[in-house]
């Protein structure tokens, strides 16, 4: 296979109407998730912590923020040709002060495509859909030690810090930050288009 042309990535919303497709999507998304997590999280987390985070076991980890418990859930894949190179989920927080606000949780790009604009395209699509749904703004949370993600949110996207958060895995507490786009009208990059967003009843993905 030739070299991936990551700059050509296109974002599509995925739907889960066919169980066979759903399995395929989940396998693809799991692959992207694992590649991205390993490349980013192992820089500051142990292998055991990463494995626990992605295990899906009840109580494996707890986040101080609401990762989004209520439908509608919206799932986006970034494709280069037929290959999935990035994923992002748009969730709706349902607890506390931010109930009703959308949150991007998670957003992952395969390391081979980092710094080629795939993350920006995924974010722009989430922001576009949230804005069209009439959301007041958009949140995302990041571990403070995740320097790559922080740079992406703070410098590339220019997001505003909202609150201190944390993620607990076993005995380890990782400080985190909640970011927001306060005005979604400003959140959409040029040329990202307005196509392809449709309503979807889904469920929380098995892959974190
Ligand atoms: C954060 C992430 C989604 C960004 O995706 P991306 O496709 O690289 O993003 P873009 O190409 O649109 O933007 C590039 C920006 O991201 C940041 N970035 C991406 N890769 C980086 C790296 N290896 N080192 C430092 N910064 C990096 C920089 O801010 C960069 O801007 P620059 O090119 O001007 O330096 C991706 O790096 C990723 O999947 N990381 C691992 C998973 C993760 O941490 N997700 C977020 C969880 S909260």
**Residue of minimum CA distance from atom 35 in ligand 1:** 115
Structure tokens given for 83: 């290959």
Query: What is the predicted pLDDT for the residue at 208?
Result: 40
What does each of the 208 residues of the chain score in pLDDT, given as a tens digit?
568 999 999 999 998 777 778 788 889 999 999 999 999 999 999 999 999 999 988 889 999 999 987 777 899 999 999 999 999 999 999 888 898 899 999 999 999 999 999 999 999 999 999 999 989 899 999 999 999 999 999 999 999 999 999 999 999 999 999 999 977 865 544 434 333 333 323 333 334 4
Residue-wise pLDDT for 70-97, tens only, equals 777 899 999 999 999 999 999 999 888 8
Could you tell which of 37, 115, 139, 156 is best to mutate to test the pocket of ligand 1, judged by most ligand atoms within 8 Å of the CB?
115
Give the CB-side neighbour count of residue 24, counting CA atoms within 13 A.
12
Q: Is the CB of 149 under 6 A from ligand 1?
A: yes
Q: Write down the domain spans for the chain.
A: 11-186
Tokens of 81: 């040709």
Q: How far is the CA of 68 from the centre of ligand 1 (A)?
A: 23
Cα–Cα dist 88/55, whole Å: 19
Beta bridge partners of 76: 13, 88
Question: Which atom number of ligand 1 is nearest to the Cα of residue 6?
Answer: 7
pTM: 0.89
Atom of ligand 1 nearest to the CA of 152: 29
Distance (Å, whole) CA 159 – CA 155:
8
Which atom of ligand 1 is nearest to 116's Cα? 11
Q: 78 CB under 6 A from ligand 1?
A: no
Q: Whose CA is nearest to atom 27 of ligand 1?
A: 148
Pocket flag, ligand 1, residue 61 (CB < 6 Å) = no
User: 3.40.630.30, 3.90.1150.10, 3.40.50.1820, 3.40.50.2300: which CATH number matches 11-186?
Assistant: 3.40.630.30
Structure confidence at residue 136 (pLDDT): 85
């Amino acid at each position: 296979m030739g070299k991936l042309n990551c700059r050509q990535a296109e974002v599509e919303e995925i739907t889960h109407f066919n169980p066979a497709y759903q399995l395929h999507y989940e396998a693809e998304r799991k692959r992207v998730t694992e590649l991205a997590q390993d490349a980013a999280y192992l820089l500051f987390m142990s292998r055991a912590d990463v494995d626990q985070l992605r295990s899906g076991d009840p109580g494996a980890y707890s986040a101080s923020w609401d990762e989004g418990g209520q439908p509608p859930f919206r799932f986006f894949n970034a494709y280069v040709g037929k290959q999935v190179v990035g994923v992002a989920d748009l969730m709706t927080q349902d607890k506390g002060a931010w109930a009703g606000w959308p949150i991007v949780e998670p957003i992952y790009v395969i390391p081979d495509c980092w710094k080629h604009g795939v993350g920006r395209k995924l974010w722009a699509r989430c922001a576009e859909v949230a804005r069209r749904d009439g959301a007041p703004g958009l949140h995302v949370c990041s571990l403070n030690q995740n320097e790559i993600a922080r740079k992406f949110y703070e410098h590339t996207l220019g997001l505003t810090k909202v609150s201190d958060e944390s993620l607990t895995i076993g005995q380890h507490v990782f400080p985190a930050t909640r970011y927001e786009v306060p005005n979604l009208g400003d959140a959409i990059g040029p040329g990202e288009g307005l196509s392809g967003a449709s309503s979807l009843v889904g469920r929380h993905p098995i892959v974190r």
